[in-house]
Structure 1
């Protein structure tokens, strides 16, 4: 908050009156996320009204977090942390209008949670320890309840020390189907990367990247950290075939649970039909898909007898192929052609939040994404020159129209994810988008600037953070803070909550 000074000329003298004013522009000075989260004001988020189960079919699921030696292929295994003893965890598939109850039991020796990535739900069900709940301690249980009223592709994962827990396998697909599905064949594929053959490197001592060690593509850190890529927790001959016959059409839902941008190559043309759970307008077809960390992209694809391939971003790491049913299929890779690659911002959403670029936003927030080195900590990732929990919050009141400028002045990609809301991307690098899109995650690459708008219509305390969780772990987190509520939860070593 900045001070506004009003000068009043009274008679022969000048009277200066200093007042505190609420400014439309928030530039990061003043309050921090830590100072506003627990400031007792208005309602506790635990007292906010939840979704109502009355009149809705109820779908119940039991999920247990536990360890397992997980076989990535016949010769490679890792010690994984799992939901229901598999990586990914059990796919949860419900229908639009279902009331969902998920009972989590923690059999690990560390605290865990479940965050419902991309799902619009009550704040107290968001699964962020120290912000919306206390982490579920070893031997304890917690039940998540919410209404699944927006068909689309989502996923669930732990938000407790995510940089480690998601890395070790605590994630799964959450699919909300329409009452009458459009495709007879409908399958989800979660892509990920692992450090299998040597320990994952720490960002603490990767400062050489700051002084010219970058590869120039925004992925230098993840390329250095990981040596294996997987599809649904497997690679090589262990990847489960897609049960599809030649000539059949399918809906394929791709979810990126890793921290590296991945590329999926198709042997023939496919069509993107949804991004981050929302339908897009796309008659044109392409043969290669770019999917950012945390992003979900659905495609329509017809099998013409050749396999789909997940391309490795490192010469030392093998590609991974999705075999096709019990038929013979070619696994030859196409030559890379960036002109044929489409991404999560290539298309216009069928249903926009705003028909035109909104005028006169109630809140304008400029978010500078950068990185630096802190004494004793090594590399850190900053929002407006601060790291969580000292980052400046986006302070809103219910009903506000909010504009956020996301500017990446660093050298690495930052896939920025907003909890509890959808936003509309309206411009890139100062130019209005001809195809505006509605998302909840936007991959901001080095040198890029985007403008997004959203409506503050879901009261609570909501994270806005980089979904390369290694970056979030080192500071790139802020919150959207509704002024009329507060969180009764604490984070930090004493509380055992690590959001």
Structure 2
């Protein structure tokens, strides 16, 4: 009788306190513990941790603070995974399980998000949505099957505008199980930008940012906030050269961990795009010499050394401001490349993540009928006492309207940038198909998990809601996300016990 009275009081209190959004109605189970009886599933219930029949690749990552040298005489206070920027590179074979034991030796909470990886919701690493943040001195284990080969990366998603900025990121490569090695070697390049002249200035009170935005420069904010560009945590003359023998070819996996668009200039005829966002692109000779990589985006390149002398992959991003991030390419480790001059010309054919189609599509044809249609208007705003904000449909997260879906739905999202700054929009836990830009259909659609939307642009994307959970959809200029440009793909019948 006493248990029944307590149960009735709990139900009444929940109703009075307004918990109807999650409909948490409990009953006493056989063991005396509360049970959910209204049909909603916790995201924890969606996770199957039985990997007894799988090979497991295991890593230990420790979040810790170090003094990191960007270049001789130029050091920064960095937050790192295993003491380096970038953190330890992770590799796992397709179909195997990746197990990562995170230990937090920082004095702030951290998490790890597995950027671009299709995985169970509870392993996604978003604090207060898919897990509790890992507190100082605590540990957490991430474990999931690596189902899709390609180039990915990992980074903290706890206050990510600051923590990724300070170095909490690294590469993740999922290798094809039956991979054909057509390359002499492979190189991973992680691009970033740093504020080395003291702490970076807050985006909310930078007087030049709004003026730059009004002038139509989509990069006005990042150009003011940062002064040093890096490759694999190094800048200027400290950047390690890539060794490619004459007439040999290598695979270069490029990850943009920063918040500014990066443009890399190659000699004509030397480079071909083979994948964007871990999706193989259409096999053709792209004949491009300028490769654009948006914040959060990954691009895989086939680079053939058609030069007999050393040369530079020239970073056009660093023309106007900051220490350069040009990458030497040499044929032999003993070659002198000290006096190389970068090619800073921006002439030639440009390839970006919205100009080259993919081999394998989600939808062979654009769906005639959809279950959910969502218009996502991106804009800037101002809040009294708070300064600049970044909005989705005139609201800042957590007040942005969610994309409400049911399992199996086909979802159409029209993303329009009504502001004057760039917004690389990233969807967690899914891939989407980009079918049009500014109302014009692509003959060769793209499969992505991030689409870079420049001022005045509109993209039409489709995805299938086939991974139940509560998933972020946000701008991957994390400064913009931190100031409101986020929403959630919210599956019906699923709730997060971590949501605040």
Paired residue for 1:48?
A: 46
The answer to whether structure 1 residue 373 and structure 2 residue 412 are counterparts is no
Paired residue for 1:487?
A: 496
Paired residue for 1:245?
A: 245
The answer to whether structure 1 residue 468 and structure 2 residue 477 are counterparts is yes
Paired residue for 2:449?
A: 440
Paired residue for 1:272?
A: 273
Paired residue for 2:295?
A: 293
Paired residue for 1:254?
A: 254
Paired residue for 2:160?
A: 162
Q: CA deviation at 1:251?
A: 0.4
Q: What is the distance in 2 between the residues matched to 1:461 and 1:36?
A: 18
Q: CA deviation at 1:121?
A: 0.3
Q: What is the distance in 2 between the residues matched to 1:176 and 1:37?
A: 38
Q: Which has the higher contact order (CA 8 A, sep 6+)?
A: 1
RMSD of aligned alpha carbons:
1.8
Q: What is the distance in 2 between the residues matched to 1:54 and 1:181?
A: 28
Contact 1:36 1:481 in 2 (8 A): no
Q: CA deviation at 1:215?
A: 4.4
TM-score, normalising length: structure 2: 0.88
Q: CA deviation at 1:272?
A: 0.3
Q: What is the distance in 1 between the residues matched to 2:321 and 2:206?
A: 20
Distance 1:39 1:73, change over 3 A: farther
Paired residue for 2:407?
A: 398
Contact 2:41 2:494 in 1 (8 A): yes
Q: CA deviation at 1:319?
A: 2.3
Q: What is the distance in 1 between the residues matched to 2:423 and 2:242?
A: 32
- What's the CA shift string for 1:299-335, capped at 9, x where partnerless? 0001224221223345231322222351244733335
**1:380 alignment partner, SS class:** strand
Paired residue for 2:12?
A: none
TM alignment of 1:24-423, pairs within 5 A: 40=24, 42-50=40-48, 52-179=50-177, 180-182=179-181, 183-206=183-206, 209-210=209-210, 214-268=214-268, 269-281=270-282, 282-303=284-305, 304=307, 305=309, 306-323=311-328, 324=330, 325-326=332-333, 327-329=335-337, 331-423=340-432
Paired residue for 2:3?
A: none
**1:224 alignment partner, SS class:** helix
- What's the CA shift string for 1:81-138, capped at 9, x where partnerless? 0000000000001111111100000000000000000000000000000000000000
Distance 1:384 1:238, change over 3 A: same
Q: What is the distance in 2 between the residues matched to 1:189 and 1:130?
A: 31
Contact 1:167 1:258 in 2 (8 A): yes
Answer 1 or 2: which has greater strand percent.
1
> Unaligned stretches of 5+ in structure 1?
1-34, 492-499
Distance 1:215 1:352, change over 3 A: same
Q: What is the distance in 1 between the residues matched to 2:87 and 2:47?
A: 29
> Unaligned stretches of 5+ in structure 2?
1-18, 25-38
Distance 1:310 1:335, change over 3 A: closer
Q: CA deviation at 1:406?
A: 0.1
Greater Cα shift, 438-447 or 181-190: 181-190
Q: What is the distance in 2 between the residues matched to 1:244 and 1:37?
A: 58
